C-alpha cells in the first residue's frame, strides 16, 4: 500500500490534501498534519504515521520548507528506519506524482518525479501579441 | 506596494497563507483564493485582484499546478496587462521569497528566486550511520 503524509506549518498540509481531493478524488490516501495551528502535539502524529507503515508499504512524508521546524521534526523522527522517504519544499505536483505514479517508489523514481515537479515551478511568460498574430495568421509565419 | 495573490484548487491557497503567517507574520500581505470549495465565482476575485494593482505596485499571482483549470483562469485574466507576474507550480519557499525579497521584482529576479525555491524541492537523504560515526570519531576520518 502506498501511504502519503504531508506535514506543514499551518493549514498548508490540509490545503494540499483538499486540492488533491478535487483533482484526483484521492484525498483519503493522504494524511495531512497541520502544525502550530493549536496546542496539540503534531510530533506524535508524525510518529504514529511512521509506525503505521508496514514492511510491504511504500511511504513518503512531504514537508513544506527545507530547514524549517517541521522539516527538522521529521528528520528527528527518522522515517528512514521504516524505509519511508522524506521530500521537502513540496509543491502540489510532487505529491500528486508520488501518489499516482505506477512505478514502485525507489529513490531514483522519486528523484525523477520531483525533478519533473520542480520544472513546473516556473514563471509563466505573458502571451505576446506578436505571437498571437503569428498563430492566428499562419500564412504570415514564413513571410 | 508589493501584492501577492495565491489561487488554488481547494484550500491550498489559504493553507499557504496560514503557513506564511506562522513563518513570517505577513499573512495580511497575501490574498488567498480557494477555488472550487463552494459555488462562489473565484474568477471575479482574480479580476478584482488584478484591478487592485496600481502602476507603482509590484504583484505576483501564484497558481498551484501547471496547466490546471485555475492556471488557465489566470492566463485568461491576462495579468500581464497590469504588469503582474504569474508563477505556477508554486511551493511555500517561492511565495516567501517573492514576498520578502529586497530586490525589485523583475522577470530576472523572479526567475532566480523561483530557481532557488525549486532547488529546495528535494528528497532528503537519510542520515547514514557511517557518516554519524565519522563525524563522531574524527580521528578515524583520515585513517
Helix or strand or coil: residue A32? strand
Tens-place pLDDT, residues B8-18 = 999 999 999 99
- Chain A residue at shortest CA distance from B107: A123
Please give the average per-residue pLDDT across B116-127, as a whole number: 94
A110 in reach of chain B (CB within 8 A):
yes
pLDDT at B120 over 50: yes
Q: How many angstroms away from the CA of B54 is the closest CA of chain A?
A: 18
Q: Which CATH class is domain B2-140?
A: alpha beta
Distance of alpha carbon A33 from alpha carbon B59, whole angstroms: 31
What Cα–Cα distance (Å) separates residue B8 from each residue in B42, B64, B93? 10, 5, 16
Q: What is the pLDDT of residue A139?
A: 40
CB atoms A11 and B11 under 8 Å: yes
Distance of alpha carbon B133 from alpha carbon B102, whole angstroms: 41
CB atoms B123 and A86 under 8 Å: yes
Please give the average per-residue pLDDT across A24-53, as a whole number: 96
Facing B16 at nearest CB: one of A15, A78, A123: A15
A100 in reach of chain B (CB within 8 A):
no
Work out the angle at residue A84's Cα, subtended by the Cα atoms of residues A103 and B21, and round it to the nearest 5 degrees.
105
Q: What is the pLDDT of residue B128?
A: 72
Taking alpha carbons only, the member of A6, A66, A112 closest to residue B117 is A66
pLDDT at A143 over 70: no
Q: What is the pLDDT of residue B143?
A: 34
Please give the average per-residue pLDDT across A59-82, as a whole number: 96
Note the Cα A125 to chain centre separation in Å: 24
Tens-place pLDDT, residues B20-77 = 999 999 999 999 999 999 999 999 999 999 999 999 999 999 999 999 999 999 999 9
CB atoms B121 and A118 under 8 Å: yes
Facing B120 at nearest CB: one of A88, A111, A120: A88
Please give the average per-residue pLDDT across A10-34, as a whole number: 97
Helix or strand or coil: residue A55? coil
Please give the average per-residue pLDDT across A105-130, as a whole number: 92
Task: Read off φ and ψ for residue A22, nearest 5 degrees.
Answer: -70, -40
Task: Read off φ and ψ for residue B13, nearest 5 degrees.
Answer: -60, -50
Cβ(B8)–Cβ(B64) below 8 Å: yes
Q: How confident is the model at residue A115 (pLDDT cuts 50, 70, 90)?
A: very high
pLDDT at A4 over 50: yes
List the B2-9 sheet strands across, edge first. A122-123, B85-88, B58-63, B2-9, B30-35
Residues of B in contact with A114 (CB under 8 A): 121-123
How do strand A2-9 and strand A30-35 relate by DSSP bridges? Answer: parallel
pLDDT at A22 over 50: yes
Q: Which residues make beta-bridge pairs with B3?
A: B59
Over chain A, what is the mean pLDDT? 91
Q: How many angstroms away from the CA of B20 is the closest CA of chain A?
A: 8
- The model's pTM: 0.89
- Chain B residue at shortest CA distance from A128: B80
Q: What is the pLDDT of residue B127?
A: 76
User: For residue B35, what is its C-alpha cell?
Assistant: 477555488
Residues of A in contact with B14 (CB under 8 A): 11, 15
Amino acid at each position: 500500500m502506498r501511504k502519503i503524509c504531508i506535514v506543514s506549518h499551518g493549514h498548508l498540509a490540509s490545503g494540499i490534501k483538499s486540492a488533491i481531493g478535487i483533482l484526483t478524488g484521492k484525498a483519503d490516501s493522504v494524511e495531512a498534519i497541520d502544525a502550530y495551528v493549536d496546542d496539540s502535539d503534531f510530533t506524535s502524529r508524525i510518529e504514529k504515521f511512521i509506525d503505521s507503515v508496514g514492511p510491504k508499504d511504500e511511504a513518503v512524508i512531504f514537508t513544506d520548507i527545507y530547514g524549517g521546524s517541521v522539516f527538522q521534526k521529521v528528520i528527528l523522527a527518522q522515517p528512514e528506519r521504516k524505509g519511508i522517504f522524506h521530500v521537502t519544499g513540496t509543491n502540489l505536483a510532487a505529491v500528486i506524482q508520488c501518489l499516482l505514479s505506477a512505478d514502485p517508489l525507489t529513490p531514483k523514481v522519486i528523484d525523477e518525479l520531483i525533478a519533473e515537479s520542480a520544472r513546473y515551478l516556473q514563471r509563466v511568460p505573458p502571451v505576446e501579441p506578436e505571437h498571437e498574430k503569428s498563430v492566428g495568421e499562419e500564412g504570415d509565419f514564413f513571410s
